[in-house]
């Protein structure tokens, strides 16, 4: 039963009977129904001041009249308190309805399939060629991966795009550094690490010798012009980088539908430039070509430099048009740090000025920066934390904890991988995405705090209870789930569909991450207060049913944010 919708209909019908008028329909009423912070105030509450103006009565008079006009088998009572109409659902009915729905619907519980027939394109991760995958890419990669799964959960067709950073002056600098100080064998053996050393050295020496930057720009122009030597070195750098990144994506269980990076759009930019020119949007400014956005409170969008070189926005315009033409998306998300906010405001405004109505379907999903144990990160200055190293260290630390806590556990290496990787991902997705993240080992791998290992351990506990319970033929007695601890668990499970929809609408995976912590905490409180394996068959069956629902919800919640759920820990 959808209690919220059912109660909204009761209110609408009661208004008609009590006042001869229903100024709000059931759908509108449902949107105003609130969940009180304390269940002592009811399971749902309706603020009657929403009706006061239309009915020309005080909220208290309205709530008093409606309270006596509403009744239903599933309601234990309805109260009028200071203009609020408070609804108390019969506890046994509530538990039975919610848990039955959760278990019977399985991994579809909470989905309304509202995205069926729609396509969302997601631009995330976007690693840079000739640089190792570092912790700074953790947020975009895991937010994108989680949103991919959340959108699919609601029926959308998701298209994940890794818009590789494989274009720009920095690649000319990389080649210039390689030609000056590198050699093939050293770079082939050292891989991306060796390329990073060259990049750091180039930037350090360029501070003293500005001519080096001119040299870097020259090499990038040769890439743009299709120079065979420049392209051969560049393609080699790309191959080494993608091999390196593949190991990290495999660890994270992240996949993409497209690796179309910036260079993919090199031959697709001229039609965009021609269109901007034909529509009178391009203006010359000191030899460069711009789109003037002064009237919209933004600096100009620089489309072409004075030397004819393209920029990020030129390629992003081509990419946006290509994605619309190729995927005919209903929504296009750019999961990129908040520092690029101006860039995307300019991008979407230029698309609007070009006459593309679908600019409204494009959205910048921004997030905060990542630091490591109080240190900001900078590849240019050589102050970096590589994500592959971070994950392997986390796996090793998890392995040490497992050896200490569960020395007889089977498949220790597999569980250590699940816990170690999951701890990192959970830490990245726990807070609102716009907040900055400061990664600390002792917080991420804590088995007792609001962490991934804590939630995974609670899932494993549920699995253990269910293994010990075995087959249970008794009919569950819902009256056994009316205690406060069980009701809190049921209330959270009942709220999951609303939480999942909120995560979708706000592009906010942390809502599901925090839900998993709340549910784990509620179940652990129930577990310690109420023995599951009691003698009474109906009580035992009811508590096993509750445990099964929690197990399912924790496993699926972790899946939606990109984490595996071990069955033993």
Active site residues: 131, 134, 137
Q: What is the rounded CA–CA span in Å between residue 392 and residue 377?
A: 19
Q: What is the rounded CA–CA span in Å between residue 480 and residue 535?
A: 13
CB atoms within 10 A of CB 405: 11
Q: What is the rounded CA–CA span in Å between residue 135 and residue 141?
A: 10
- What phi, psi does 365 have (nearest 5°)? -95, 95
Quote the distance between the C-alpha of residue 43 and its chain's center: 29
Could you list the beta-strand ranges (E) of 113-181: 119-123, 157-161
Name every residue whose Cβ is closer than 8 Å to that of residue 513 and which is 6 or more positions away in sequence.
426, 429, 430, 557, 561
DSSP per residue over 97-130, as a string?
Answer: HHHHHHHHHGGGTT---TTTT-EEEEE---PBTT
Q: Are 567 and 400 in contact (CB under 8 A)?
A: no
Q: What is the rounded CA–CA span in Å between residue 126 and residue 137?
A: 8
Q: What is the rounded CA–CA span in Å between residue 394 and residue 400?
A: 10
* Strand-pair partners of 80: 85
């Amino acid at each position: 039963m959808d209690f919220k919708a059912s109660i909204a209909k009761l209110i609408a019908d009661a208004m008609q009977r009590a006042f001869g008028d229903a100024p709000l329909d059931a759908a509108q009423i449902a949107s105003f129904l609130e969940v009180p912070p304390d269940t002592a105030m009811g399971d749902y509450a309706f603020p009657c001041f929403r009706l006061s103006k239309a009915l020309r009565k005080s909220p208290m008079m309205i709530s008093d009249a409606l309270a006596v006009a509403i009744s239903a088998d599933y309601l234990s009572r309805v109260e009028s308190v200071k203009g609020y109409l408070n609804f108390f659902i019969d506890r046994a009915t509530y538990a039975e309805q919610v848990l039955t729905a959760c278990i019977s619907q399985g991994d579809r519980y909470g989905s309304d399939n509202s995205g069926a027939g729609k396509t969302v394109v997601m631009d995330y991760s976007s690693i840079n060629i000739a640089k190792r995958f570092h912790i700074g890419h953790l947020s975009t990669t895991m937010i994108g991966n989680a949103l991919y799964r959340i959108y699919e959960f609601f029926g959308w067709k998701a298209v994940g795009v890794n818009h590789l950073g494989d274009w720009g002056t920095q690649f000319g600098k990389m080649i210039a550094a390689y030609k000056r100080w590198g050699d093939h064998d050293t770079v082939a053996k050292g891989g991306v690490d060796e390329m990073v050393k060259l990049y750091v050295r180039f930037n350090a020496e360029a501070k003293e010798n500005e001519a080096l930057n001119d040299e870097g720009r020259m090499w990038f122009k040769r890439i743009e012009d299709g120079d065979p030597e420049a392209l051969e070195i560049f393609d080699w750098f790309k191959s080494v980088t993608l091999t390196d990144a593949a190991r990290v994506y495999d660890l994270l269980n992240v996949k993409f539908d497209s690796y179309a990076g910036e260079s993919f759009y090199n031959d697709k930019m001229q039609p965009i430039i021609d269109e901007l020119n034909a529509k009178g949007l391009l203006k010359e400014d000191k030899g460069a070509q711009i789109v003037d956005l002064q009237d919209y409170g933004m600096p100009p969008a620089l489309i072409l430099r004075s030397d004819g070189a393209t920029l990020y926005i030129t390629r992003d315009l081509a990419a946006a048009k290509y994605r619309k033409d190729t995927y005919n998306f209903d929504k296009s998300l750019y999961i990129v740090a908040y520092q690029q906010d101006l860039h995307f405001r300019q991008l979407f405004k230029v698309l609007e000025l070009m006459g593309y109505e679908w600019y409204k379907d494009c959205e910048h999903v921004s997030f905060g920066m990542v630091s490591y144990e109080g240190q900001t990160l900078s590849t240019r200055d050589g102050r970096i934390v590589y994500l592959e190293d971070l994950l392997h260290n986390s796996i090793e630390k998890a392995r040490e904890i497992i050896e200490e806590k569960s020395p007889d556990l089977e498949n220790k290496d597999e569980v250590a991988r699940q816990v170690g990787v999951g701890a990192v991902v959970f830490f990245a997705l726990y807070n609102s995405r716009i907040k900055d993240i400061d990664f600390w080992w002792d917080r991420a791998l804590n088995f007792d705090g609001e962490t991934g290992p804590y939630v995974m351990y609670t899932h494993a506990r549920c699995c253990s209870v269910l293994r010990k319970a075995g087959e249970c033929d008794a009919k569950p007695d819902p009256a056994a789930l009316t205690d406060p601890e069980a009701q809190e668990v049921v209330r959270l499970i009942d709220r999951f569909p609303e939480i999942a929809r909120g995560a979708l609408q706000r592009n906010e995976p942390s809502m599901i991450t925090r839900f998993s912590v709340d549910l784990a905490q509620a179940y652990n409180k129930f577990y310690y207060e109420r023995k599951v394996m009691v003698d009474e068959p109906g009580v035992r069956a009811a508590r096993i049913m509750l445990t099964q629902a929690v197990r399912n919800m924790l496993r699926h919640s972790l899946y939606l944010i990109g984490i595996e759920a071990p069955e033993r820990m």
